[in-house]
Amino acid sequence: MARQATRKSDATRARILEAALRVFRERGFNTATMREIAAEAEVAVGAAYYYFDSKDALVMAFYELSQEQMAPAQDRILASSKTFEARLRGIIGHKFEHFAPNRALVGALSAHIDPEHPLSPFSPATAKIRDQDVAFFARAVTESGVRLPPSIQPYLPRLLWLYQMGLLLFWVYDRSPRQAHTALLFDKTLRMMLLALRWAGLPLLRPLYRPAGELLKTIYGEA
């Protein structure tokens, strides 16, 4: 009986989240109400609030579900790819595909950039999701054998995550047909970055290693 009740509860929660995403797509995140979401899910308003105490809680559930759904594909991409470039193209490209149905919602949420906002990708509230995402980039670096100076190497996965976030932000505002400008930006900047990483090991650049490492420590609050 307990398992049956849990399954019913999980199903209700999933139905409310799916309804919320539909309402967000149709009405917009800012104008949508919990009452509309409850009606779309065919549950009482009180039931909607029982499972999600706010629209922010629904968005957090969307973030968590997206991470859970993308993880198996990200694992397969990392395991099957042979080069660093292929791994980066795969895991970032997969995010574009996954979020495409909810692109407008992601665009609305992009306004919450301030780390003080709980829905910000930089906030303490989203740290677990962010760390899981950074871990995929860390695997891409490790499994590809990418080597940088010790003062910079530990920061590469987080820098790659920031690169991804910049691409996603450009993507949500890209009005070109099928976001063709984003595809071009992704391709060109990735090639430039890979070239820069190859150059990073040149002896000529060694005087830059220490200040670059100190700068990264300052940016990440580790100085």
Residue 122: strand, helix, or coil: coil
Give the rounded distance of the alpha carbon of 9 from its chain centre: 27
Between 117-131, 144-158, 167-181, 205-219, the lowest mean confidence (pLDDT) is in: 205-219
Split at pLDDT 50, 70, 90, the class of 139 is very high
148 pLDDT more than 80: yes
Rounded to whole angstroms, how far apart are CA atoms 195 and 190? 9
Residues 6+ apart with CB under 8 A from 118: 56, 60, 125, 126
- What mean pLDDT comes out for the span 49-65? 94
203 pLDDT more than 80: no
Give the rounded distance of the alpha carbon of 116 from its chain centre: 18
Q: Of 135, 115, 120, whose CA–CA distance to 221 is shortest?
A: 115
- Does pTM surpass 0.95? no
Question: What confidence tens digit (pLDDT) does each residue in 162-180 have?
Answer: 999 999 999 999 999 999 9
Residues 6+ apart with CB under 8 A from 40: 19, 20, 22, 23
* Per-position DSSP letters for 12-80, written without gaps between them: HHHHHHHHHHHHHHHH-TTT--HHHHHHHHTS-HHHHHHH-SSHHHHHHHHHHHHHHHHHHHHHHHHHH
Split at pLDDT 50, 70, 90, the class of 2 is low
Split at pLDDT 50, 70, 90, the class of 205 is confident
Question: What confidence tens digit (pLDDT) does each residue in 17-29 have?
Answer: 999 999 998 888 8
Question: What confidence tens digit (pLDDT) does each residue in 181-196 have?
Answer: 999 999 999 999 999 8
Rounded to whole angstroms, how far apart are CA atoms 178 and 183? 9
Question: Residues 168, 93: contact at Cβ < 8 Å?
Answer: no
Angle between helices 127-144 and 156-172 (to 10 degrees): 120
Query: Which has more confidence, 94 or 2?
Result: 94
Rounded to whole angstroms, how far apart are CA atoms 217 and 223? 5
Rounded to whole angstroms, how far apart are CA atoms 141 and 158? 11
Query: Dihedral, CA atoms, 135, 137, 140, 141, nearest 10 degrees?
Result: -100
40 pLDDT more than 80: yes
Rounded to whole angstroms, how far apart are CA atoms 220 and 7? 42
